Structure 1
């Protein structure tokens, strides 16, 4: 599994892990984010159980596993956190697992012994090595219980599925967006179908537009930096959400014909 350093100042850093060339072809590619500060580590969206061996090997090649104190599962999808039980067995009782209050009893199907820290709808603050890591609401984008992660000291935002792109492996030349116009084509279909609410989209963009952000990292695809962050937010406001709604009418017409 590949790793890129997104930020470093003293003992405070952000690392992104992903683009694993050895993962099974059937698995969607995911970005796992690791924040360190003051000798403590936080892992955001640890990934599915299928990638756990490569992810834990990649992480421990960079950091002692004993420093891992917090694990965030931003929403309920299996590619986000089905490995939670494996991480808890490696880290033991020193690991706090944070998730929306909506999903703790659902995520228990991945790890029935985990004592989840429930995150309220408005989010919360995790203290990591003396720094504050902010969990920000991103509900209905796509999950009804979903969070982004903002680090004001590093000016970094993890956006989860917001900003995700489905990119062919041969097009992944780096971890960063290099041509926004081309990249938007890989985001379009995903956002039209997966994002669940235009009002939620508008509220999220309004919220993050007030933040100082140098890098915006989604869970899938490439990472935005510099002027591409504003380009992405402007583009997101133009997306026509709800491409799957036409299926209702098609199903109704099919059922009507069958009834007749």
Structure 2
């Protein structure tokens, strides 16, 4: 069962995590969805696959008026990221979808029209939400060739998409990483296989190390907070990626 958890709140600015569902069938990858709320507007990050739309919509509605949604941020083009797009647009046809320019002619296969999409240039761009300025951070080839993360400088939260993802066992239900050494074992194989470029990995690690990050919130698995954020960046920086052995 999907539930929304408030992971940050200051006045009318908050982040909601719609956490993974431990009862989901094992043949479908589990996902986290995130909502940034500022004033009377909200932005939904990686809304998920078509099969979980009812659960995500219900969880969101329990914590936030869904009519406040102004847009969707899609880190990349995968179906577990954005295949629910048509259903969100059916609910609110004027929603904007922020996506790499590379995928603006691919995503209409999931729904929407030309005016739906706000293409993000390769270098990133600001995304404004009711006076709050978020930043689309380049994360190309991690793992998609057109990939972005979303940084909130006020909350000091980085939505990191598949970077930081861990494929946790079914009985793992913690919202936050509690034991980094144990947790990271569930991330290693995923990152080695899915992160395709060592150079892109190093560039990302250098870029995000310059940001103030209190929480790194991935699309799969648990949330890194405090010292575990830099622990993850250091671990990822040293990891050999893009190589299939055996």
- On whether the aligned pair clears a TM of 0.5, the verdict is yes
> What's 2:141 paired with?
140
Alignment of 1:213 with 2:206, yes or no, is no
CA distance in 2, matches of 1:40, 1:211: 25
TM-score (norm 1): 0.91
| 1:215/1:229 contact within 8 Å kept | yes
Q: Which residue of 1 aligns with 2:226?
A: 226
- The answer for the alignment partner of 2:65 in structure 1 is 64
C-alpha root-mean-square deviation of aligned residues, in Å? 1.2
- Distance (whole Å) between structure 2 residues aligned to residue 80 and residue 101 of structure 1: 16
Q: Which residue of 2 aligns with 1:183?
A: 183
Q: CA deviation at 1:104?
A: 1.2
- Equivalent pair of 1:136/1:149 in contact (CA under 8 Å): yes
Aligned residue for 2:199? 199
Deviations 1:135-174 (A, max 9, x none): 00000000010001000011110011000000011122x1
- CA 21–191 in structure 1, closer or farther in 2 if over 3 Å, else same: closer
The offset of 1:22, in angstroms, is 4.6
Q: CA deviation at 1:8?
A: 0.2
Unaligned 5+ runs, structure 2 = none
Preserved CA contact (<8 Å) 1:65 1:91 = no
Please say if 1:243 is aligned against 2:243: yes
CA distance in 2, matches of 1:203, 1:22: 37
TM-score between the two structures when normalised by the length of structure 2: 0.96
For residues 19 and 163 of structure 1, the distance between their equivalents in structure 2, rounded to whole angstroms, comes to 15
Q: Could you say which structure has the larger radius of gyration?
A: 1
Distance 1:21 1:5 in 2: 19
Cα offset, 1:25, TM superposition: 2.9
Structure 2 counterparts to residues 148-159 of structure 1, below 5 A: 148-159=149-160
Residue segments in structure 1 that go unaligned for 5+ positions in a row: 248-260
Match of 1:98 in 2: 98
* Greater Cα offset, 112-121 or 187-196: 112-121
- Offset of residue 24 of structure 1: 3.2
The alpha carbon displacement at 1:242 in A equals 2.1
Tell me the secondary structure at the aligned position of residue 79 of structure 1. Answer: helix
Q: Per-residue deviation at 1:113?
A: 3.1
Aligned residues: 244
Structure 2 SS opposite 1:237: helix
Give 1:255's aligned residue. none
Q: 1:30 maps to which residue? A: 31
